[in-house]
Amino acid sequence: MQEGKFYSVRMRAAKNGSHEQGGKHISGGEKLSTLSHMKHAVNALLEKGLTHSRGTPDFMQIQFDSLDEPIKLIKPLQIETNEVESVEIGQALSWNLLEKVGISRQIIEKAYTYMTQYSGIRGAILIDIHLGERIDYKNEKGVRVSRMDWMNTNFEKWADYYKVPKNSRVKEALVLATKVCEHPATVAELCWSDDPEYITGYVASKKLGYQRISKLKEYGDERGCRIFFVDSSKDEDLNSYIQYLEKQPVIIQWGEENDS
Ligand code: PML
Ligand code: MG
Ligand code: MG
Ligand code: MG
């Protein structure tokens, strides 16, 4: 890993005013960077926010903050890509995977209604696996998982090894899912993009790994969201769980045995 102090770099972009003014969420992004790489990090986030298929933003905020906490290194979740013929088959597969980790069909059904109900919020929503109720108190913001990254050289070696496309979307989603699933209170994550041109989504958990599903929604649909299924009995303090998601710095690092 690189030497020196690290900074959390964050971007959020909206259209028709800022998020606070009720603007439409366009894009968000997270990086960790040293000061010497800051221009590169800021530029990459600027580019991401300016070229999103949800629209051209008229509000963007890019900020960096120095990190004082030690950075936790985590191995990426195992990745698997499930090619499916249709959205129906893709969604049925996502149900099966969620059931495999112990979530009841009744709760999955609720989660599916939330996926569209809460589409367009910029963070994730947290639901309790026993009652299926939304448990974060973040309203239209949701919980923004932050302070995480994967250094490109290590990511590219991993991508070569697993023959995964070296695109930043897969990288960013896997970084997020790995951080989220590392916490013992996370049972699983269900995600598909709010990008109308991107229909691949995933179910992730520590046990299942990162299970990509090639079709989870129809092309052109702007609805998408992230849901974390949380076992609240495993973590008495919801605040400390949210604190971990928002504040614990994490770098994904592929195992040393494969990393020359
Ligand atoms: C997003 O970009 O909004 C979420 C993307 C999820 C799927 C990424 C992948 O292809 O693995
Ligand atoms: Mg997005
Ligand atoms: Mg986003
Ligand atoms: Mg980076």
Nearest CA to ligand 1 atom 8: 170
Question: Is ligand 1 within 6 A of the CB of residue 167?
Answer: no
Question: Is ligand 1 within 6 A of the CB of residue 225?
Answer: no
Using 50, 70 and 90 to split pLDDT, how confident is the model at 161? very high
Average pLDDT (77-86) is 97
Phi and psi at residue 218, to the nearest 5° = -80, 145
pLDDT at residue 211 in the model:
98
Cα separation of the two ends of the chain: 13
Nearest CA to ligand 1 atom 5: 193
Is the per-residue pLDDT at 140 higher than 90? no
Is the per-residue pLDDT at 105 higher than 70? yes
Is the per-residue pLDDT at 1 higher than 50? no
pLDDT at residue 4 in the model:
81
Q: What number of helices (H) and strands (E) belong to the chain? A: 6, 12
Average pLDDT (130-140) is 91
pLDDT at residue 232 in the model:
82
pLDDT at residue 122 in the model:
87
Among the atoms of ligand 1, which is closest to the Cα of residue 201? 7
105 C-alpha to ligand 1 centroid (Å): 24
Average pLDDT (97-114) is 97
pLDDT at residue 256 in the model:
62
Q: CA 125 to CA 111: how far, in whole Å? A: 10
Q: In terms of Cα–Cα distance, which of 112, 253, 102 is closest to 188?
A: 102
Q: What is the pLDDT of residues 220-234, one digit of tens each?
A: 999 999 999 999 887
Question: Is ligand 1 within 6 A of the CB of residue 222?
Answer: no
Phi and psi at residue 208, to the nearest 5° = -80, -20
Question: Is ligand 1 within 6 A of the CB of residue 146?
Answer: no
Q: Which amino acid is at 171?
A: K
The preferred substitution site among 30, 200, 213 for testing ligand 1, maximizing ligand atoms within 8 Å of CB, is: 200
164 C-alpha to ligand 2 centroid (Å): 20
Question: Is ligand 1 within 6 A of the CB of residue 212?
Answer: yes
65 C-alpha to ligand 3 centroid (Å): 19
Question: Is ligand 1 within 6 A of the CB of residue 178?
Answer: no
Q: Which tokens is 45 given?
A: 């986030």
Query: ipTM of this model?
Result: 0.85
Q: Count Cβ atoms within 10 A of the Cβ of residue 7 and give its class: 0-12 exposed, 13-18 middle, 19 or more buried.
A: buried
Q: Say whether 50 sits in a helix, a strand or coil.
A: helix
Show Cβ contacts of residue 133 under 8 Å, excluding neighbours closer than 6 positions.
Answer: 127
169 C-alpha to ligand 2 centroid (Å): 9
Is the per-residue pLDDT at 160 higher than 50? yes
Q: CA 193 to CA 181: how far, in whole Å? A: 18
Nearest CA to ligand 1 atom 10: 170
